[in-house]
Amino acid sequence: MKLLVTGGAGFIGSAVVRLAMTRGHQVVNVDALTYAACLDNVAMVADSPDYAFEQVDIRDRAALDAVFSKHMPDAVMHLAAESHVDRSIDGPADFIETNVTGTFNMLEAARTYWTAQGKPDSFRFHHISTDEVFGSLPNDPSVQFTEDTPYDPRSPYSASKASSDHLVRAWHETYGLPVVLTNCSNNYGPYHFPEKLIPVIILNALAGKALPIYGDGSNIRDWLYVEDHADALLLAVEKGAVGRSYNIGGENERTNLELVKTLCAILDQKRPKEVGSYADQITFVTDRPGHDARYAIDPSRIREELGWRPSVTVEEGLAQTVDWYLDNESWWRALQDRHGVGERLGVKA
């Protein structure tokens, strides 16, 4: 397939681009190159005749129309978004413009192109979303998010993603656009931008800085290795049923404190300190406003209908991630100067 991937210079989008190309797909990477982007993430495929890059902002409808006409994709995988909850608390406008209006533009550009092609059934608009649209769960293992869980977003980020999910469903119901949706839990792995929890912990640990834990560290997340997510996304675009959504999760629930302690234990083994443990650097800081208590995904549908399973446990994935950050210092050093990185964001509220 020729895949038009938006956000392909970001963390998850670049994993999708790299995996799609090893599986024989052609890729058109559409990315505005915001602060969160890094073209090094896709440098290994950049010279391939099966790869094209377009620096285009999804808020620019005319530019999107030109990309569709030029490249004539078989499917869209829409990942471009503002993605950091803390930034959405300080500056929600960008989240509305990119995640809501940008998705509207993508839907309209895709619909115009698909209609001009004679509305082929084989076309797909795959919208990549988050489990955060479902809100916050109690700490009760018998309750998980399913595809039927009512939406209850609680941050500007999750509300903007929920809005975009509703638009995508509406374009299917109203115009017949062949869409598929996926809602995934927290990702981690190589090329994770150094403002997110796991890279912050690894890089602060190595720098001898405090390891900040929001609140008391009891918030629970369901962690998934990014390459397993990319694998699930390719299955969904290739084989997912039209109009259907699939929840994707690693079945790896950990409190933030447990996760950070695991990372410290891995670092203690791989890069021991002269004295003590990296866990000695753990520091509790003011909680995020409206911090969701627990996310947990029931991935039964994608497992049973599409045969997807994660390939690594969270311990294996975290060890691989730590190795990657230890081996790729030039990658993360270059990103640490970007606006807001290393600052505490999202507490102004």
The stretch among 7-15, 166-174, 253-261, 319-327 that binds ligand NAD (CB under 6 A) is 7-15
Q: Does residue 184 belong to the site contacting ligand NAD (CB under 6 A)?
A: yes
Q: Is 9 in the site for ligand NAD (CB under 6 A)?
A: yes
CA distance 230 to 13: 8
Active site residue 157: yes
Question: Which residues within the stretch 96-155 sit at the binding site for ligand NAD (CB under 6 A)?
Answer: 98, 102, 128-130
- Figure out which of the listed residues 1, 18, 26, 31 binds ligand NAD, where binding follows CB under 6 A: 31
In the complex, the smallest distance separating the C-beta of residue 255 from ligand NAD, rounded to whole angstroms, is 17
| Of residues 42-61, those binding ligand NAD (CB under 6 A) | 57-59
E-only strand ranges, 165-242 = 179-184, 187-188, 211-214, 220-222, 224-225
Residue closer to ligand NAD (CB basis): 11 or 114: 11
Q: Which stretch binds ligand NAD (CB under 6 A): 179-187, 260-268, 271-279, 305-313?
A: 179-187
Q: Helix or strand or coil: residue 12?
A: helix
Beta-carbon contacts of 302 under 8 Å, excluding residues fewer than 6 positions away, are 182, 232, 235, 236, 246, 247, 248, 308
State the DSSP H helix or E strand holding residue 112, giving kind and residue range, or none if neither. Answer: helix 103-116
Asked if residues 95 and 82 have their Cβ atoms less than 8 Å apart, the reply is yes
Which one, 38 or 211, has the nearer CB to ligand NAD? 38
77 binds ligand NAD (CB under 6 A): no
Q: Active site includes 131?
A: yes
Nearest approach, Cβ of residue 192 and ligand NAD (Å): 8
Q: What are phi and psi of 285, to 5 degrees?
A: -125, 170
Strand partners, 103: none
* 3-class state of residue 225 by DSSP: strand
Give the nearest distance from C-beta 317 to ligand NAD in angstroms. 13
Which residue is catalytic, options 51, 113, 157, 225?
Answer: 157
Identity of residue 71: H
Active-site residue among 54, 82, 131, 222? 131
**Is 253 tagged catalytic?**
no
Q: Compute the distance between CA of residue 113 and CA of residue 128 in angstroms, rounded to an integer.
A: 20
Q: Of all residues in this chain, which one has the CB nearest to ligand NAD in the complex?
A: 10
Q: Is 5 in the site for ligand NAD (CB under 6 A)?
A: no
Strand partners, 282: 211
Distance CA 317, CA 320 (A): 5
Q: With residue 246 as reference, give the H or E element that holds it.
A: strand 245-248
- Contacts with ligand NAD by CB under 6 A lie at 6-7, 9-13, 31-34, 36-37, 57-59, 79-83, 98, 102, 128-130, 161, 184, 186-187, 193
Catalytic residues: 131-132, 157
